[in-house]
């Protein structure tokens, strides 16, 4: 059976690294936040992940080139910080439940290979209210990790976390890794830079990261453009006058 393939481009030495998940999901909260982190910190791509559980399509770029479903890992070595970062970014999640298990398992395995012991997932929590100061909620694999988040004023939550975020935290626990999930309120129906900012502020507070959040709106804009290109392209500019004989 075909498997998810992990291509390691570079093997950096990382100091007690943490994995930060940033795949597309509700409100694209994690996706926008992770893209902003990568850009702001000039994080470097070191791992490329392909999977037969991704969609079977090619995405055409503005320049006539093609992109393909992919997940990637970027690293950032921060001076004076207790943890280096491994940031998981991509344009898709696995399509099937089985594929999600396979993909997330492999991502955690390669993360551990680089010394990772903690996983931070971000995400959106669907809320009916619109707000400029979305509330932030958390859940953790263990009390110690949970308390770090609670000390920063983040609230506990009950419910379920679907998809890669839920599975990475769950599988991390089985591997005796620490895991924390940060969920920001969002209507969820558009790439939500306000919620992404809230999630990222929470994450930076816990990790002692300093990131300029001013340009985060640009990452939301990029995410919007990728979404646009996912819509089927239609020719409408021409008249319907001609007909084949």
Candidates 97, 12, 86; CA nearest to 49 is: 86
Residues 53-92 that bind its own copies (CB under 8 A): 53-66, 68-69
Q: How far apart are CB 139 and its own copies at their closest, in Å?
A: 4
Judged by beta carbon, residue 115 or residue 142, the one nearer its own copies is: 142
Stretch that binds its own copies, among 12-20, 107-115, 139-147, 204-212 (CB under 8 A): 139-147
Is the Cβ–Cβ distance between 242 and 226 less than 8 Å?
no
Contact status: 215 vs its own copies (CB under 8 A): no
- Radius of gyration over every alpha carbon of the chain, rounded to an integer in angstroms: 19
Min separation Cβ 232 and its own copies, Å: 6
Q: Does 151 bind its own copies (CB under 8 A)?
A: no
> Which H or E run contains 138?
strand 136-140
Question: Which residue number, 16 or 66, has a Cβ lying nearer to its own copies?
Answer: 66
Which residues within the stretch 160-189 sit at the binding site for its own copies (CB under 8 A)? 160-163, 165-167, 169-171, 173-174, 179, 181, 185
Tally Cβ neighbours within 10 Å of residue 166.
18
Q: Long-range pairs for 1-6 at CB < 8 Å and ≥24 separation?
A: 2/52, 3/52, 3/102, 3/106, 4/49, 4/50, 4/51, 4/52, 4/53, 4/99, 4/102, 4/103, 4/106, 5/49, 5/50, 5/51, 6/47, 6/48, 6/49, 6/106, 6/110
Q: Cβ of residue 28: shortest distance to its own copies, in angstroms? A: 15
Provide the sign of the torsion angle of the four alpha carbons 54, 59, 61, 65, taken in this order: positive
Q: Output the smallest distance, CB 194 to its own copies, in A.
A: 5
- Report the residue number, 17 or 163, with the smaller CB distance to its own copies: 163
Q: Of 9 and 61, which has the nearer Cβ to its own copies?
A: 61
Q: Are strands 44-50 and 71-76 parallel, antiparallel or unpaired?
A: antiparallel
Measure the CA–CA gap between 190 and 196, rounded to whole angstroms: 12
> Can you tell me the distance from the alpha carbon of 159 to that of 149, in angstroms, rounded to the nearest whole number?
18
Q: Which residue, 79 or 241, is less far from its own copies as judged by CB?
A: 241
What string marks each residue from 96 to 135 as x (binds its own copies by CB under 8 A) or -?
-xx-xxx-xx-------------------xxxxxxxxx-x
> Binding marks (x or -) toward its own copies, 27..46, rule CB under 8 A?
--------------------
Nearer to its own copies among residue 56 and residue 212 (C-beta): 56
């Amino acid at each position: 059976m075909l498997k998810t393939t992990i291509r390691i481009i570079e093997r950096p030495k990382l100091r007690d690294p943490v994995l930060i998940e940033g795949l597309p999901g509700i409100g694209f909260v994690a996706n926008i936040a992770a893209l902003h982190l990568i850009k702001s910190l000039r994080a470097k791509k070191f791992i490329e992940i392909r999977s037969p559980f991704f969609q079977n399509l090619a995405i055409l770029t503005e320049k006539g080139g093609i992109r393909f479903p992919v997940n990637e890992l970027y690293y950032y070595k921060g001076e004076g910080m207790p943890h280096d970062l491994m940031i998981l970014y991509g344009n898709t999640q696995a399509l099937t439940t089985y594929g999600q298990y396979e993909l997330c398992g492999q991502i955690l395995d390669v993360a551990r290979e680089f010394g990772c012991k903690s996983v931070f997932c971000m995400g959106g929590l669907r809320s009916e209210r619109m707000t400029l100061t979305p509330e932030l909620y958390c859940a953790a694999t263990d009390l110690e990790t949970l308390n770090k988040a609670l000390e920063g004023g983040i609230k506990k939550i009950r419910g379920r976390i679907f998809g890669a975020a839920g599975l990475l935290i769950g599988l991390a626990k089985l591997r005796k890794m620490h895991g924390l999930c940060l969920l920001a309120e969002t209507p969820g129906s558009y790439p939500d830079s306000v919620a992404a900012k809230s999630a990222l502020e929470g994450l930076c507070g816990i990790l002692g990261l300093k990131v300029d959040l001013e340009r985060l709106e640009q990452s939301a804009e990029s995410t919007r453009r990728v979404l646009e290109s996912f819509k089927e392209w239609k020719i409408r500019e021409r008249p319907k006058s001609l007909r084949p004989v």
